[in-house]
Each structure stands twice: as structure tokens, then as C-alpha cells.
Amino acid sequence: MNIERFAIEGVVRIIPRAYADARGVFSETYSRRGFAEALGQADFVQDNVSRSARRGTVRGLHYQAPPMAQAKLVRVLKGAIFDVAVDARAGSPTYGRHVAVTLRADDGAQLFVPRGFLHGFCTLEDDTEVFYKVDAYYSPAHDGSIHWADPDLAIAWPIREADAVLSEKDAAAPRFSAIQGGF
């Protein structure tokens, strides 16, 4: 696997090796040993899939507060997304900054989002399916959301706010300042 690191420590883009022949393509998308050698140990405990019917569907910016914070390994099974990780770690020198990448099903790239980050994405195609592994179980009591289009975060989303397809929760989410200094 190839690893791309960013200015914000901990967030990485992973590009698995793909082997093509007349039958199609084979790719190993996750290996506990390979992941640990490249990025450190992660004990993923739950897999999740989201399907979005329309281009412009925004999911996020979501988080789970400590002690149930989650790291995520995100990849696209069908379609494409604009994927965002926002540093919400208390005391981090990159607090409030973000990494944004495009993930596409056809290239197999993945984004690792460490604990202490907000995560969200916007679908770039109709009928997009996203798969992600997490290292802590979902906890409704620790679930939270920050408004995806908060101007203080200065994320250059590929959609106008008026055109976004949102859940009620995400539409009503508070601004980043609501988490007052992070996790």
C-alpha cells in the first residue's frame, strides 16, 4: 500500500495496490499487519455502510465524544465523495484545520481519520456507497455533529449550501465553537 501524509498529523490517504488481469482487478483493502506497520495498531470493531441516492448529499461533520471517540478508515464502494477530516483535538497545533480529499470507487483510495477529528463527506455522484471501519462502537450518548458549512472552518465544499441534501440533525448542527477547545 502507498501512504500519503498531510500537514495535519494522523490523517493519511491509503492507496492499496491493485492487481489487474483479464478477469478484472484484485486489491487487498485492509490488512491488520500492514496497517499496524504503516500507521500503528488499530482495533477496528464495527463496519458501516452508507448509501446516498443523490449527488450533493452531505453527511457530517460527525463525531463521537470521548470516551467513545472513533477512528475511521473510509473508502468508497460505488461513486465518489469529497471527504473531510477536521482536527478537533484539544491542544493540537492544527486545531480547527482540515484535510479534504476526493475518494473514488474506481481508484480504491481510503482515508484514515484518527480519533479526535470531525468527519464528513459530500457525494459527488448519484447512488454513492461509502464503507468505513471504526475502532469504537457507536454510542448515541456520545454522538455529535458540527455544521458542515460553518464559515469558521473555511472548507471549500463542492456544493452550495442551498443545494445540499441533509438530515435534520446535520441541518440543525451547531457551529464548531460549540465544542469549546476540542476533545
H or E element: which one contains 171? helix 168-171
* Active-site residue (options: 19, 62, 137, 142): 62
Residue 132 among the catalytic residues: yes
Count the residues in the chain.
183
Taking the C-alpha atoms of residue 145 and residue 94, their distance in angstroms, rounded to an integer, is 20
* Active-site residue (options: 30, 132, 138, 142): 132
CB atoms within 10 A of CB 43: 8
Q: Which three cell numbers stand for residue 119?
A: 468527519
Residue 62 among the catalytic residues: yes
What are the two backbone dihedrals, phi and then psi, of residue 173, each rounded to the nearest 5 degrees? -60, 145
Catalytic positions, please?
62, 132
